[in-house]
Amino acid sequence: MKRNLLVLGSFLLSFALAQFQGPSPEMRAKMEPYFNLMSSVSLLLELEKTSDLPLSSEQAAQLLPILNELKTSQGYTAGHATELLDTIELEILSPEQLVWMDGEFLKQQEARQNGGGGGFFGRPGGQNDGGNANTANANGGTPSTGGPGGRAGGPGGQGGFFQRIMDGEPVNLFLDNPNATAVLDELLGLLSAKTG
């Protein structure tokens, strides 16, 4: 099951990196754990909101410390991102929930390939508006901030997370991207209500 999610996560990584010129295998390998974790958090929200397999209160209680860490951490390594994802997939979620998430991921990938769906990085099709905060994207009207760096200029811009990952610095994609932050906040709210 974990292997399936990792394979699916690599498709998301490939999609995100395809927006930029010639990502090297080294870049893909360094970024994969971060994108797998971010994708899984997004799919957890979809699992909770739209599936017939919502998280139990026990699962919510197990997930909350992980999600709160993602919310507050100034950065985490690729190895720690992998550890967190392993905990979610191997210790918290049921096999049925993982299968549902796999299927949902494939649907989202198909929609993106057909030019639909938004995502964490801007308007449908992976386009961004170059940092124009007045332009809303496909994620419920959240303004784009110039691409995956969460700052105008995107990954090549000063302080972009791509460069920090390549430099081996800890990164928190949930702090660097307002769309990812919104997904995490919504999931935290839903799961907190289940345990409170």
Q: Enumerate the domain spans of the chain.
A: 2-195
* Cβ neighbours around 88 below 10 Å, total: 22
Residue showing tokens 């700052």 = 151
Task: Look over the chain and give the mean of its residue pLDDT values, rounded to a whole number.
Answer: 76
Calculate ∠ Cα 8-9-15, nearest 5°.
Answer: 95
- Give residue 58's pLDDT band: very low, low, confident or very high (50, 70, 90): very high
Q: Evaluate if residue 70 carries a pLDDT over 60.
A: yes
Q: Evaluate if residue 134 carries a pLDDT over 60.
A: no
User: What's the token pair of residue 12?
Assistant: 């998301």
Calculate ∠ Cα 177-96-8, nearest 5°.
Answer: 45
| Chain centroid, CA 66 distance in Å | 14
Closest by CA position to 176, among listed 188, 163, 189: 163
pTM above 0.85?
A: no
In the chain, the amino acid numbered 108 is Q
140: left (phi over 0), alpha (psi -120 to 50) or beta: left
Percent share of the chain, pLDDT over 70: 66
What value does the mean pLDDT take over residues 26-35?
A: 89
